[in-house]
Amino acid sequence: MTIQDKLLETPYAYLIEDRDYQSYLDYLAQEKNLSDNTLRNYQQAISYFAYWLYEGHEKVEAHPQWRELDAEVFRDYLLYLTKAEVARTTIRLRFSALKSWYQFLVLRRDLAKSPIQELQLPKLAKSLPVIISIEQMDELINAPFNITHPKQAPSWAPYRDQAILELFYATGIRLSELVSINIEDINYDEAILKIMGKGSKERLVPTGQLALDVILRYCHEAQIYSGPLFINKSKTRLSSRSIDRLLKKYVAYLGLSETITPHKIRHSFATHLLDNGADLRSVQTLLGHESLSTTQIYLHITKQRLREAYDNHHPRS
């Protein structure tokens, strides 16, 4: 049972059944073009806060309305989450949802001021992404043909899995982008993929001939010529969850870090490009980042790796 389900069973269910709140969800989906996953995260975050209110907040009268809550209530909620040792990333996500909700009330429902407007949230600790080495990526891409597959798995499953891993590393695309690819989105003559990115923004992504060859071999083995590129044994589109599972299977088989995810492959794609001389603007375009500052973290990784190489190998380091 989710926290939202729990809240619906309390007298405070009205907080998420409010007409304005339902309009807000429509606004996020239709005007802001948020993904289903992000929308679900926002709903859960707001439900967590409402459930915390229901459990008993001494400074709030019974059955409060959203407009009646002041900054002190949210400071208390922040203090509660901090004392409960909730991760900083989770705290910021929950308050991001609440801030967005109140911004909607200010802009669309004439609320005078957001009670969270000036709240100071804990800063995220800066950490560099985990990078998979080129040698580890080679092992991972070849793993589908080195592992025993279940008897019920289709004969073309290793070809599909290798194509998935090869395409992740060849393009640096997101998991959601890979899942949505159709065979018609591949231009073999120009070695270009048409990708539907965040916010339903379409972009063209170049890929290598090696990845295209692996995809062609997979399509031939699976005998698919149109529709979803990556399919399950029922020949319907493979889900994000299924791809997560198959990656974990190969990671476990190779004894690699359990933290390796599709996004870590994306990190590795960007870092290996920079390590080999690609410029930051090109990498930004390939990743589909709107802001160059988002891409700059990979430059820090490259500098750190150069520093380590120097320290480890220069005779006068």
Give backbone dihedrals phi and psi of 214, rounded to 5 degrees, phi first: -65, -40
Residue 314 banded pLDDT, cuts 50, 70, 90: very low
Known catalytic membership, residue 57? no
Name the least confident of 35-39, 124-128, 167-171, 245-249.
Answer: 124-128
Residue 310 banded pLDDT, cuts 50, 70, 90: very low
Of the chain, the percentage scoring pLDDT greater than 70 comes to 88
Catalytic residue among 94, 160, 264, 266: 266
Catalytic residue among 99, 174, 264, 267: 174
Q: What is the pLDDT of residue 222?
A: 96
The whole-number average pLDDT for the span 281-286 is 77
Q: What is the pLDDT of residue 107?
A: 92
Known catalytic membership, residue 263? yes
Which tens digits make up the pLDDT trace of 214-253? 999 999 999 999 999 999 999 999 999 999 999 999 999 9
* Listed residue (165, 119, 116, 164) closest to 140, CA to CA: 165
Known catalytic membership, residue 289? yes
Known catalytic membership, residue 248? no
Q: Is the pLDDT of residue 316 over 70?
A: no
* CATH tag for 134-313 (out of 1.10.1580.10, 3.40.50.80, 1.10.443.10, 3.30.420.40): 1.10.443.10
Catalytic residue among 92, 198, 217, 249: 198
Q: Which residue has the higher pLDDT, 38 or 285?
A: 38
pTM above the 0.75 mark?
no
Q: Which amino acid is at 112?
A: A
Known catalytic membership, residue 266? yes
Residue 34 banded pLDDT, cuts 50, 70, 90: confident
Token duo for residue 215:
């995809």
Instruction: Give the dihedral of Cα atoms 153, 156, 157, 163; nearest 10 deg.
Output: -170
Known catalytic membership, residue 109? no
Catalytic residue among 75, 92, 237, 289: 289
Domain boundaries, the chain: 3-108, 134-313
- Residue-wise DSSP of 242-258: HHHHHHHHHHHHHT--T
98, with CB counted inside 10 A (0-12, 13-18, 19+), is: buried
CATH class of 3-108: mainly alpha
Q: Which residue has the higher pLDDT, 129 or 179?
A: 179
Mean pLDDT of the chain: 86
Residue 149 banded pLDDT, cuts 50, 70, 90: confident
Which tens digits make up the pLDDT trace of 4-15? 889 999 999 999
